[in-house]
Amino acid sequence: MSRFERQINLSGFGPKAQQQLQKAKVLVIGAGGLGCPVLLYLDAAGVGTLAICDGDVVAASNLNRQVIFSESDITKSKAEVAGIYLKQKYSDINIEIINKFLTVENTLQIFNAYDLIIDGSDNFQTRYMVNDACVLLNKPLVFGAVYQNEGQVAVFNVSDDNAVSSNYRDVFPNPPSENEILNCNETGVLGVLPGIIGVMMASEAIKLITGFGKALINKMLYYNLLTNTTYETEIAPNAVAKSIIPKTPEDFYKTDYTLLCGNLPSIEWSEALLLKNNTPGKVILLDVRETHEQPKLDGIETMNIPLQSLSENIEPLNTAENILVFCQSGIRSRKAVAVLRSKFLQKNIYSVAGGISKLNSTINA
Amino acid sequence: MELKGIKILAFGMIAEKINASEFYLKEVSNTNELLSSLNSLYPQLKEMKFTISVNRRIVNNNEPLNADSEVALLPPFSGG
């Protein structure tokens, strides 16, 4: 008797669908609130190769919804703990552990090995990057996301009967601005919500792999936990979306998804000064104010290149590994970070939060 | 029978910002008019990104609306 007997016996599913599951190679991005149920159910259903990609570690606040993890897993790698757990459940599944976060450098290479991608990540940066990579590589994508008591599910980059396919950017061409963005860590969520949405994602994956039923192709489903209501809308390809997505791997590598999603990396003065002191020669403190602006930083080596002329004068920055940019109040430095990130892909570039005004108020306080 | 206007469904942070998940708007004949009407009624929506669906189809251009139209204001979610 096979452990899949009950689904092989299911009318319309049968042994052929089970074989298709066994042959499938599925990558699950994020072993979080969505990823846990996706992994548990695809593992149980008999998806032959199941990869878990997550660079994060387990925290106590994850445990209300990330049901693979226990108290004893806190501070351990999510991908590793989940991988070990899933491996010991069944002997017939090949589990692959990818203990890292996706970046523009590693995403295409990782995706190449799988025939279905499932996005259970928790930020727009990853979501837009994953979508664009799937479009570029022509990989089907099962998408799910939650906000407070609501969830979204969709299947992207799969052609319908009329050979029409759509993707995330056909629904939301550009990411929301920084101040709109909130995730579960900030807004709170009941564990059952990503549980429901994650199981829906697993079910869409099974349907896509086997052709069983009708997957949410060119559709997005909204689910509301409080009212038990759903709303389904059709998606059509749109020209704007098509024009924004990187067309080649080279374009993809050059796309700065952090910036696109408004998440500019910033650093506090205390950390900035510590980094400057502890790694001499590797850190440039860059002042992007006009040369006449006061006060200067006393007793600390800085470089002054005003924002206005920054893009034409970047040579002096070539040798630094880390560039910490500051200005008067932290606004121009953010613009400068955007400029510099497009010029130096390999360097760590941060805006010092609050600028000189913040430093002085900290000292005077 | 008095006409209630066009039915609007709001989701996620949009519903939160306007404190309703379902309401009606009168005297709008297309989605551009609907947007400007929403912006003046709910200035807090101005900075929000959302997509509009009319009769359960996402629309990208100005779309005519009639008394039977059902409009949804769909924000993106990122949580997981």
- Binned at pLDDT 50, 70 and 90, residue A263 comes out as low
Please give the CATH topology (third level) of the domain spanning A266-364: Oxidized Rhodanese; domain 1 (3.40.250)
* Interchain CB distance below 8 Å, B76 and A124: yes
**Which of A9-13, A157-161, A166-170, A340-344 shows the lowest per-residue confidence on average (mean pLDDT)?**
A340-344
A101-115, A306-320, A338-352, B5-19: segment of lowest average pLDDT: A338-352
Is the minimum CB–CB distance between A35 and chain B shorter than 8 Å? yes
Q: Give A197-225 pLDDT, tens digit per residue.
A: 999 999 999 999 999 999 999 999 999 99
Average pLDDT of the residues in A248-264? 84
Residue type, A244: I
Give percent above pLDDT 70 in chain A: 95
Q: Is A36 a catalytic residue?
A: no
Residue A181 pLDDT greater than 60, yes or no: no
pLDDT above 50: residue A137: yes
Residue A103: half-sphere exposure toward Cβ, Cα within 13 Å:
9
Which ranges of chain B does DSSP label H, i.e. alpha helix?
12-18, 31-41
Least confident of A45-54, A209-218, A337-346: A337-346
Choose the closest CB to A233 out of B12, B13, B53.
B53
For the segment A106-125, what is each residue's pLDDT rounded down to a tens digit?
999 999 999 999 999 998 99
Please state which CATH number belongs to domain A5-256: 3.40.50.720
Distance of alpha carbon A69 from alpha carbon A86, whole angstroms: 11
Residues B54, B66 contacting (CB under 8 angstroms): no
Q: Which tokens sit at A53? A: 């990609």
Give the range among A10-19, A256-265, A269-278 with minimum mean pLDDT. Answer: A256-265
Structural contact between residues B77 and A150, judged by C-beta atoms closer than 8 angstroms? yes
* Residue B11 DSSP one-character state: -
B58 contacts A32? CB cut-off 8 A: no
- Pick the catalytic residue: A36, A53, A134, A184? A184
Q: Which helix (H) or strand (E) holds B53?
A: strand B51-54
Residue extents of the structural domains in chain A:
5-256, 266-364
Q: Which domains does chain B have, with CATH numbers?
A: 6-74 (3.10.20.30)
Work out the mean pLDDT of chain B and round it to a whole number.
Answer: 92
A365 — pLDDT class (breaks 50, 70, 90): very low
State the residue for tokens 């900075």.
Answer: B47
Inter-chain residue contact A234 with B57, CB threshold 8 Å? yes
Using CA atoms, how far apart are residues B58 and B52, in angstroms rounded to an integer? 6
ipTM: 0.95
Contact A209, A24 (CB under 8 A): yes
Size of interface A-B (CB pairs under 8 A): 101
Rounded distance between C-alpha atoms, residue B26 and residue B5, angstroms: 4
Average pLDDT over residues B21-40: 93
Task: Nearest chain A residue to B15 by CA: give it.
Answer: A150
> What pLDDT sits at residue A359?
83
Question: Which residues, 6 or more positions from B35, have their beta carbon under 8 angstroms from its beta carbon?
Answer: B52
Query: pLDDT tens across B31-68, in order?
Result: 999 999 999 999 988 878 899 999 999 998 899 999 99
Is-contact A190 A225, C-beta < 8 A? yes
Structure tokens at A250: 């080279």
pLDDT digits (tens, 9 = 90+) for A223-243: 999 999 999 999 999 888 888
Neighbour tally for A254: CB within 10 Å:
12
- Mark whether A184 is an active-site residue: yes
User: B72 pairs with which residues across the strands?
Assistant: B9, B53
Instruction: Reply yes or no on whether the pLDDT at A182 is more than 70.
Output: no
Q: Which of residues 168-207 of A touch B (CB under 8 A)?
A: 170-172, 174-177, 179-184, 187, 189, 194
Tell me whether B75 touches chain A (CB under 8 Å).
yes
CB contact under 8 A, B11 and A146: no
In chain B, residues 17-46 whose CB comes closer than 8 Å to chain A: 21
